[in-house]
């Protein structure tokens, strides 16, 4: 029997249709999880939801129409449940995202950037300045043989500088010609002159090792900057000009350079180099004209070739520049100290 308008079945179906339509509309309009929950209570609430109320209308439907009405009811219930589920998922996703989202109103987390160690910074600055003066940077090994550390530099076997107590000889290399940790970067002068012809303008920065007791101006491992300039007609005035230009650029302002007579086996004449900056004279290193014996040792014509060399302590220069009173501070690994540079 086809139901006609106005029968209880029609009324029932019309209510189901309204209910489904209203639920769809309410859920489409919901803008947050609370609105979805309110719609759930209104339509699918177990006690007084509209589905529950519609179910009660089922009782008024004649027995013959009940199976069809029951199916319609179940369909409506299922489609409202599906609408609810879709809406709930939509806001669950939004809320999950909200948990991970960045609150742009919170103060930012400071990012701590690393930086180079002050000695590394100093080395790079020295390389840059010397590069501007036309000096090329070269490297040499830290483990050296007797020839490069002493003999080619005219440091004879009986010279006190070769004393085992003043050097780190390597136990693995005990023998007639034991290797050692280089005690000066002057080794690189020899290595460069052995492999190249003049003219030369080189600078070499690296570690050197001496069994010195650590104090405010000494450390058993430190760095030197070695310069070598070999060109015809070179003299001590050129040496002083280069050192003064370097010191003025590195320290800033007008730096005075003072030479005091000294002795190094590999330079003649030899000087100690002092620099005056901020009203104080500080000893920075040694220098001089390359000794003819050294030129001969590397196979140069000692009558035709002239050059100067210098070797400065990098820690001493850095301490002077940054106002550090004790060079041991560079190696204590105290980040409060290191952060200042």
How far apart (Å, rounded) are the C-alpha atoms in residues 322 and 118? 9
Residue 264 interacting with ligand FA5 (CB under 6 A): yes
As beta bridge partners, residue 203 has 137, 227
Nearer to ligand FA5 by Cβ, of 122 and 186: the residue is: 186
Cα separation of 195 and 73, whole Å? 99
Contact region with ligand FA5 (CB under 6 A), list: 6-14, 73-81, 91-99, 306-314: 306-314
Whether the Cβ atoms of residue 81 and residue 44 lie closer than 8 Å to each other: yes
Our CB check for ligand FA5 shows the closer of 12 and 310 to be 310
Which residue in the set 219, 246, 250, 300 belongs to the binding site for ligand FA5 (CB under 6 A)?
Answer: 219
Report if residue 224 touches ligand FA5, rule: CB under 6 A.
Answer: yes
Q: Is 212 in the site for ligand FA5 (CB under 6 A)?
A: yes
The residue (of 76 and 270) whose beta carbon lies closer to ligand FA5 is: 270
b/e 93-112 (16+ beta carbons within 10 angstroms → b): eeeeeeeeeeeeeeeeeeee
Binding test (CB under 6 A) with ligand FA5, winner from 73, 310, 319, 330: 310
Footprint of ligand FA5 on 78-107 (CB under 6 A): none
Single residue of 210, 240, 244, 321 touching ligand FA5 by CB under 6 A? 210
> Which of 198, 206, 288, 307 is close enough to bind ligand FA5 by CB under 6 A?
288
- Could you say whether residue 250 binds ligand FA5 (CB under 6 A)? no
Integer Cα distance of 107 and 110 in angstroms: 9
Question: Which among 103, 279, 102, 291 is positioned nearest to 189, based on CA atoms?
Answer: 291
- Is there binding between residue 222 and ligand FA5 (CB under 6 A)? yes
User: How many amino acids of this chain bind ligand FA5 (CB under 6 A)?
Assistant: 22
- Contact present, 307 and 201 (Cβ < 8 Å): no
Please, which residues bridge with residue 290 across strands? 267
Report which of 93, 84, 64 is spatially closest to residue 3, judged by C-alpha positions: 64
Stretch that binds ligand FA5, among 99-107, 117-125, 126-134, 313-321 (CB under 6 A): 313-321
Q: Is 142 in the site for ligand FA5 (CB under 6 A)?
A: no
- Least distance from C-beta 248 to ligand FA5, angstroms? 18
Instruction: Kindly state whether residue 316 participates in binding ligand FA5, applying the rule CB under 6 A.
Output: yes
Contacting ligand FA5 within 267-286 (CB under 6 A): 267, 283-286
For the CB of residue 158, give the shortest distance to ligand FA5 in the complex, in Å. 18
Q: Which of 117, 201, 218, 321 forms a contact with ligand FA5 (CB under 6 A)?
A: 218
Rounded CA-CA distance 175/181 in Å is 15
Q: Which of 162, 188, 315, 320 binds ligand FA5 (CB under 6 A)?
A: 315
Q: Which is nearer to ligand FA5, 73 or 209 (CB)?
A: 209
- Site residues (vs ligand FA5, CB under 6 A): 184, 186, 210, 212, 218-219, 222, 224, 264, 267, 283-288, 309-311, 313, 315-316
């Amino acid at each position: 029997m086809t139901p006609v308008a106005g029968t209880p079945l029609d009324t029932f179906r019309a209510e189901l249709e309204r209910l489904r339509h209203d639920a769809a509309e309410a859920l489409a309009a919901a803008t947050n999880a609370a609105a979805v929950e309110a719609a759930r209570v209104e339509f699918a609430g177990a006690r007084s939801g509209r589905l529950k109320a519609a179910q009660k209308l089922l009782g008024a439907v004649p027995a013959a129409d009940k199976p069809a009405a029951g199916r319609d009811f179940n369909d409506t219930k299922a489609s409202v449940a599906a609408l609810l589920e879709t809406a709930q998922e939509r806001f669950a996703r939004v809320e999950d995202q909200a948990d991970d989202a960045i609150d742009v109103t919170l103060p930012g987390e400071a990012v701590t950037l690393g930086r180079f160690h002050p000695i590394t910074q100093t080395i790079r600055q020295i390389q840059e300045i010397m590069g501007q003066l036309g000096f090329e940077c070269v490297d040499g090994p830290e483990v050296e043989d007797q020839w490069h550390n002493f003999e080619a530099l005219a440091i004879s076997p009986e010279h006190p500088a070769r004393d085992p107590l003043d050097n780190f000889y390597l136990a693995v290399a005990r023998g007639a010609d034991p290797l050692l940790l280089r005690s000066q970067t002057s080794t690189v002068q020899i290595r460069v002159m052995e492999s190249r012809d003049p003219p030369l303008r080189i600078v070499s920065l690296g570690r050197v090792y001496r069994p010195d007791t650590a104090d405010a101006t000494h450390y058993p491992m430190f760095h030197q900057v070695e310069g070598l300039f070999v060109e015809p007609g070179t003299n001590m005035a050129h040496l002083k000009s280069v050192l003064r230009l370097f010191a003025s650029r590195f320290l800033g302002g007008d730096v005075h350079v003072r030479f005091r007579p000294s002795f190094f086996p590999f330079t003649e004449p030899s000087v100690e180099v002092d620099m005056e900056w901020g009203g104080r004279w500080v000893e920075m290193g040694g220098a001089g004209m390359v000794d003819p014996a050294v030129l001969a040792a590397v196979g140069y014509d000692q009558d035709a070739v002239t050059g100067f060399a210098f070797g400065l302590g990098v820690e001493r220069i850095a301490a002077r520049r940054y106002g550090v009173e004790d060079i041991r501070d560079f190696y204590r690994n105290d980040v409060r100290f290191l952060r200042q540079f």
